[in-house]
Amino acid sequence: MLSYFSNPQRFDQLARTLIPIFGALAAILLGVGVYLSFFGSPPDYQQGETIRIMYVHVPAAYMAMALYAALAVASFVYFVWRHALADTAAEVIAPIGAVFTVLALFTGSLWGKPMWGTWWEWDARMTSVLVLLLVYLGYMALRAALEDAQQAARTGAILAMAGIINLVIVKFSVDWWSSLHQPASVIRFDGPTIHSSQLWPLAIMAVGYTFLAGWLILYRLRSQALRRRARTLQRKREQAARAREEAVS
Amino acid sequence: MSAFFDMGGYAAFVWPTWGVSFAALAGLILHAVLERRAARAALRRLEDDEA
């Protein structure tokens, strides 16, 4: 399937079909999700109205991690099979993932202050998510710093794959170390431990975030294809001009 | 209604959380749309020169 869609035309056709579907699903799910977050769910018996922070905090944190996993997979595919599309996907995913990571940290801080009494704590979960942000930013800076596109792609891929270690630490930090942050309550072997009145808005928001991220990635991939076409055209033109010059002289 | 906006006394934490989340997602969408426009315009310029 991978080689099937690595054909640029076929991928473009698939992206064209998926973009409006993803966009519509994101809009509907986020609309319903916002409604349920405020009007379809009760205040928490311990946390009161601050529970409504969860409905954007958890999806943002989940996207920060899921997009990093996607970045690492795309990097691996590029590294092994040298698919240009996989590299472009990695390039496009990184800043989106970084924005979700900032959101996770920011909304977590705004939740931590009223519930834990602190904006920030250097514990395993928070520190590893901050490291996740630094890995995203480091990846983007590395790519921007290397002139040679191929070298940027290859070095970036290695960094992205190495960063998987940190992603594992983020996921299990709440189990391995005692932390202010609560352990997993949705994705766990014995099923979710939060009440369905809170699970529904949370799940709908999370799926909405996922489709929005999918929309952003596909939409940006198509823009990058346009840019690549422009670059090729430019290069051809320069070659033609050089050839003319040589013919004259 | 004002009870809703008061968020049980946690308005200062709940609303900035949602406001910043909304702004960030809107920013991502806007960036993607502007990027597409710029890419399309650049390509069109090159193609017009060709003709």
**Rounded-to-integer distance, Cα B16 and Cα A210, Å:** 22
Cα–Cα nearest to A50, from A2, A3, A111: A111
Separation CA B28–CA A218 (nearest Å): 13
Structural domain contains residue A215: yes
Does the residue A33 lie in any domain? yes
Q: Is residue B14 part of a domain?
A: no
Smallest Cβ–Cβ distance between A50 and the set B10, B39, B47 belongs to B10
Q: Which of A57, A99, A226 sits opposite B28 (nearest CB)?
A: A99
Contact between chains at B42 and A229 (C-beta distance less than 8 A): no
Residue range(s) defining the domain that contains residue A202? 28-39+49-178+194-248
Contact A49 B14 (CB under 8 A): yes
Helix H or strand E segment including A17: helix A8-39
ipTM of the shown complex:
0.94
What is the SS3 assignment for A228? Answer: helix
Per-residue pLDDT reduced to its tens digit, A84-142: 999 999 999 999 999 999 999 999 999 999 999 999 999 999 999 999 999 999 999 99
**Residue A21's closest CA among A202, A204, A212, A209?**
A212
- Chain A nearest-CA distance from B35, in A, is 7
A145 within some domain: yes
Instruction: Give chain B's domain count.
Output: 1
Q: Convert the pLDDT of each residue in B1-51 to its tens digit.
A: 788 888 998 999 999 999 999 999 999 999 999 999 999 999 999 888 766
* CB atoms B25 and A212 under 8 Å: yes
Q: How far does B38 lie from chain A, in Å, by closest CA?
A: 9
Neighbours of A225 (CB within 10 A): 17
Q: What is the pTM of this model?
A: 0.94
Residue B43 lies in a domain: yes
- Cβ-contact A215, A23 below 8 angstroms: yes
The predicted-structure confidence for A179-207, as pLDDT tens digits, reads as follows 788 888 888 878 888 888 999 999 999 99
Cβ contact (<8 Å) for A212 and B32? no
Partner A, chain B 1-51, Cβ-Cβ below 8 Å = 4, 7-10, 13-14, 16-18, 20-21, 24-25, 27-29, 32, 35-36, 39-40, 42-43, 46-47, 49-50
Question: What's the number of domains chain A is made of?
Answer: 1
Query: Between A and B, how many CB-CB pairs are < 8 A?
Result: 85
Residue B19 lies in a domain: no
Q: CB–CB of A114 and B10 under 8 A? A: yes
Residue of B nearest to A226 (CA): B39
- pLDDT, tens digit (0-9, with 9 covering 90-100), for A127-175: 999 999 999 999 999 999 999 999 999 999 999 999 999 999 999 998 8
Identify whether B6 is part of a domain. Answer: no
pLDDT digits (tens, 9 = 90+) for A2-12: 666 677 888 99
Give A50's pLDDT tier (boundaries 50, 70, 90): very high
Examine residue A188 and state whether it is found in any structural domain, yes or no.
no
Please identify which residue in the block is written with the tokens 């202050």: A113
The CA-CA-CA angle for residues A124, A129, A38, to 5°, reads 110
Structural domain that includes position B49: 27-51
Distance CA A45, CA A53 (A): 15
